[in-house]
Each structure stands twice: as C-alpha cells, then as structure tokens.
A and B are shown apart, each in its own frame.
Chain A
Amino acid sequence: MMEKMIFGRYIPADSIVHRMDPRAKLIFVFAFIAIIFLADNAWAYGIAAIYTLASIWMSGITVRFLISGLKPVMILIAFTFILQIFFAREGRVVLDLGFLTIYEEGIRQAFMISTRFLLLVFMTSLLTLTTTPISITDGLESLLNPLKKIKFPAHELALMMSIALRFIPTLMDETDKIMKAQMARGSDMSSGPLKDRIKAVVPLMIPLFVNAFKRAEDLATAMEVRGYRGGEGRTKYRLLNWHIRDTMALFTLIILAGILSWMRFWL
C-alpha cells in the first residue's frame, strides 16, 4: 500500500520538464503558488487547470498516475470539499434537508478551494517527480545564495531539505515493513473500533521514530567522519545551466498571471 505513494519521489525520465534548470522549476512552483490565488471565478480556475495539465503533459507523467499516487491527499481534498459545502451560509439555498441546508455559495466555494488545492498539489508533485533531490538542493542553495551576505544559512537549509526529501521514500518503505511485522503479530489497523485502531498505531510509530533518530545519528557521524564542514569553500561538481526553455517557462507563467489578474480586476 505504501509503495504506491509518490509523494516526494523522483521518476527518472527524459522530458523537457526533467531537463529544466532546477532554479527555474523552483521559481516556477513558488510563483505558481502565488498566482493561483489570483483566480477567483470558475473561468480563471479553468484556465489555471488547463495550464497545469499542459505542464503535466509535457513531463510525460499521466494524470491518472498522479491521482493514484496521491490517494491520501485526494482523500484530504474530498474531505475539505465536503466541509466547505456544509459550512458556507450564503447565497441561494440549493437543497434543504431540514437538518442541513446546502447553499449555492457553499458549492461554489467547495469547488474553487478544492481545485486550488488540487492544482497546488499537482504542481508541487511535478517538481519533486521530475527533479532529483540533489538538484532541488543545488537550485535552492543557488537561489538563496545572495542571502548569505546577511548571514542566512542557505547551504545548511538546502542540505536539511535535501536530507528530508531523500528520506521520505526510505521512511515509507520502513513504515510498510514495520506494519507487516506488527500485522504478523496480530495487530489490526484496518478493522475494529476506532479506539483499538488508534492504539494499533503505537507499535508502528515507536519503531519508526526510534529508527529515524538512529539513522539521523548515523548520518551525522558518517558526515563528520568524511570531513563535512558546511558549505565553506565547497565547489560544485554539478553546474546549473540556465537555458532558453527556462526563460520561456517563466514567461508563460507571467502570461498566466496577466490573464488571471485581468480576469480578477478588470472583468
């Protein structure tokens, strides 16, 4: 069950998205996150959705795969959708069941918020699916470099991030393994009353944490033994190259931002 999760994984392939400069992709994703908040009506979301689908299409990853790999996130989105429907109290009443009423505004809000959430998740997954953790780190460090002047720990931050990303799949595999081991000892996480199910999580979480701490310690030792001393005076083996396609990608994003703000402020 865990092995299907694609959150934080990298899929090696050779597409234009894979080949993009990680700096461009990082700027792209962060800018997209900001831009999506410009959308405030169905048409705007439609355009943003088409833009997102086009980006996914260019990476050679199928939407079906994304959805199946992000199942837990999908459940969360469905959950917010339902909450939104029930909580908004504006506009025309669409359905009145006595104990609960659904308003037009509720449906509208629910659609918009879950679409926004979905597009954000797709775009950020696209970043991690098409970029190796190491290039994300390199990109981030290079983007944050100017901040080093004000003593901002850019290198350390990038390193922390890359380690976290690197260990997501490892932790997933481990969760799967420990879950199986406890299931073999009769633990049952998928049936029975809620109280028992919550209790059944303890035998999973404790070994997981213990292992994570142990691994962190081992990693720290291994780095120290190999003479790691931070980013100072470190040169790079992989050099980042900014191509015309990177400029183009950001350019299309500016156009999207333009269209969305036009729709929001002038239409």
Chain B
Amino acid sequence: MDISLQEVEYRYAAGSPFEKKAVENVSFTVSSGECVAVIGHTGSGKSTILLHLNALLKPTSGSVVIGDRTVKAGRKEKDLKPIRQKVGIVFQFPEQQLFEETVLKDICYGPMNFGVSEEEAKCRAVYWIKQVGLSEEILQESPFDLSGGQMRRVAIAGVLAMEPEVLVLDEPTAGLDPRGRKEMMNMFFRLHKERKMTMILVTHSMEDAADYADKVVVLHKGKKVHEGTPRELFSDAERLSEWGLGVPEVVRFQRMLEAKAGRKLPGICLSIEELAASFSELSGGKAT
C-alpha cells in the first residue's frame, strides 16, 4: 500500500490565538515495501507528519492518499477504521497507552477492535510478545508492574499484533538500553524484510537512518528540505549541521581517517565493514 502526502500543511489549534503552524508544504511518497526514515531536529514536525499517515490528523491544507483512500483538507471523513487497521503507529513513548489488567488483554485490545476473534488475538499475543523479546509468562502480569523498557515492548507488541501492512514508528527505541535498542531495530527490520512490511521510521539516530532506510526525508522547521538515499544525504555534512543534524559515527570516523591518511576515499561508507574494505583497497591491499 502506497502512502503519499501532497502539500500537507497542519496548524494546531487553527483559528485560536494558540494557532501554530507545525508543518507546511510537505510532500513525499512512501511506496509499498519501502523503509523511509524521517529525521529532523526536535520540533521540526516529525510526529505531526506521522499522525497524518493514518488519518489521526487531517491536514489543514493539502491531502494525504493512503492506499485507495484520500484524506483531504476540509472534507469530512467517515469510517477511518480500515485505514487505522492497515497503518499501525507506534507512538513516541507508547508505554502511556497501556491500560488493561494484564499484558495479554492489552495486546489483544487492538486486534479485537478490528474484529479479530479472541482466540486468534490470544495466539497473536503469544507470538508477538516473544518477537519483542519478552517471555510468555509476562502475559499474565499487570502492565503497570513492568519496568519502563518492558512496558515499551509490550506496547509495541500491542501494535504489531494488529498485523498492519504499514508500520509507522515514532522514535521506538528512545530511552531503551543500547542492546535493547539494537534488538528492537533488528526485529523491525526483519519484519520489514520478511513480511515486506512498509516501514516509516522517525529517529534521532543517524546510524539507524543509515543502516535501515531506503530513503530519508529531512524536515526542518516544518518544511521538507531533503529527500534521498542515506548515502546522498550523509555525504554532505555541512548541510546536515545547518539543519541541526549530524552524520553517522562511521562517516565521522571515515573523515578522521581521511584526515590522518591525507587522502580521500571515493565515496562515503555507511558501515564499518564497508569502510574497512574501501580503505584496504585504497592502501593497496595492506589492510589497516
């Protein structure tokens, strides 16, 4: 399912003194099966854009095409549930959405809202709780007795159990430990690869953007300022810093090496293996 934003503008509290334009004139397309990273400095409108992807917000001008549905500014929309079933959102700090007595019930909540039978929902809960790296026993516990990291995983499992076609992630790993972060991202990436799940990822981590995304969209002060492959984007460190962003660790390391060695590699490398290969080639096979 493709999702396409067309000249989307959104003002919070439109028509009141608190009116605030959060994004304007943002257009981009996420094709089926793609992984798109949305990056930008804090307050640049990333979360606002994400809310448009399953019609939780309606643009104040412009339109959003989600599969065969179009959500247009100024038009009343009915029956948005099918959209929400196809596009699952994991919010920033999703642990806040837990409410049931047990983890099991909480994970079943989403699927059952979309008409999945209780039995099937329970099966899914058992499956997804393992996928997010927790054990099955936790299903009987109260979500409020869990640690922050565990709550986060449960909340993510709750969204995944809806088995959406498109997965939208708003900084899903913020506040997790480094290993949990890696595990989580790898799990998402595996879903993306194995199930051809379309993925849209908001992140502050340039490494994640470089590692996982097919395409990166950069927002700056509510406007889209760049769209392209990670390789394209990260070769221009100067422009990135103008937008309050940095380059991945590897690229910085590459620049340091280049400065030390006194010569340049032909292009930037986005992983340490690529860098090693490229560098040994340059120094004529004598690896460093």
Contact B110 A181 (CB under 8 A): no
Q: Are B13 and A177 in contact (CB-based, < 8 A)? A: no
Task: Indicate if B96 sits at the interface (CB-CB under 8 A).
Answer: yes
Query: How far in angstroms is the closest Cβ of chain B from A105?
Result: 39
Judged by a CB distance under 8 angstroms, whether B94 is at the interface is yes
Q: Is B97 an interface residue (CB 8 A)?
A: yes
Contact status A184-B96, CB under 8 Å: no
Alpha-carbon distance A68/B15, docked complex (angstroms): 9
The reply to whether A185 and B110 contact each other, CB–CB distance below 8 Å, is yes
Instruction: Determine whether B243 belongs to the interface, using a CB cutoff of 8 Å to chain A.
Output: no
Residues of A within 8 A of B248 (CB): none
| Known interface pairs A68-B15, A177-B91, A210-B144; A186-B99 also in contact (CB < 8 Å) | no
Partner of A186, one of B91, B96, B114: B114
Query: In whole Å, how far is A185's beta carbon from the nearest beta carbon of chain B?
Result: 4
Q: Which of B98-157 contact A (CB under 8 A)?
A: 98-99, 109-110, 113-114, 144
Judge whether B16 and A178 touch: CB under 8 Å. no
| A3-B13, A68-B16 known; A182 vs B97 contact (CB < 8 Å) | yes
Query: Quick check: is B253 within 8 A (CB to CB) of the other chain?
Result: no
From B61-69, B82-90, B219-227, the one touching the partner chain is: B82-90
A210 to B99, CA, bound (A): 9
A62 to B, closest residue via Cβ:
B17
Q: Which residues of the other chain, A, contact B81 by a CB distance below 8 angstroms?
A: 186, 188
Q: Is the interface of A mostly helix, strand, loop or mixed?
A: helix
Stretch of A33-41, A151-159, A199-207, A224-232 with 4 or more beta carbons under 8 angstroms from chain B: A199-207
How far is it, in angstroms, between the C-alpha of A68 and the C-alpha of B97 when the chains are bound? 29
Report chain A residues within 8 Å CB of B84: 183-186
Alpha-carbon separation in the docked complex, A185 to B159 (Å): 7
Beyond A3-B18, A65-B16, A187-B113, whether A202 also contacts B99 by CB under 8 A is yes
Cβ of B198 under 8 Å from chain A: no
Q: Which residues of A contact B18 (CB under 8 A)?
A: 3, 9
Report A202-243 residues with CB < 8 Å from chain B CB.
Answer: 202-203, 206-207, 210-211
A180 touches B56 (CB 8 A): yes
Residue of B nearest to A11 (CB): B17
A65-B16, A68-B15 are known contacts; what are 15 more A-B pairs with Cβ within 8 Å? A3-B13, A68-B16, A174-B96, A177-B91, A178-B96, A181-B89, A181-B94, A184-B84, A184-B89, A185-B84, A185-B109, A186-B113, A187-B113, A203-B97, A206-B99
**A202–B84 CA distance with the chains assembled, in angstroms:** 20
Verify A65–B17 contact, CB threshold 8 A.
yes
**A37-74: contact bitstring with B at CB < 8 Å (1 yes, 0 no)?**
00000000000000000000000000001001100000
A183 neighbours in B (Cβ, 8 Å): 56, 84
The verdict on A207 contacting B98 (CB below 8 Å), with A3-B13, A180-B51 known, is: yes
Nearest Cβ distance between residue B167 and chain A, in whole angstroms? 12
Q: How far is the CA of A197 from the CA of B215 in the complex (A)?
A: 40
Among A4, A65, A68, A185, residue most surrounded by chain B Cβ atoms (within 10 Å): A185
Q: Which B residues touch A202, using CB under 8 A?
A: 99
Query: What's the nearest-Cβ distance from chain A to residue B64, in Å?
Result: 15
**With contacts A180-B56, A186-B81, A188-B81 known, is A207 near B113, CB below 8 A?**
no
Most A CB within 10 A of own CB, among B97, B109, B110: B97
**A180 surroundings in chain B (CB, below 8 A):** 51, 56, 91
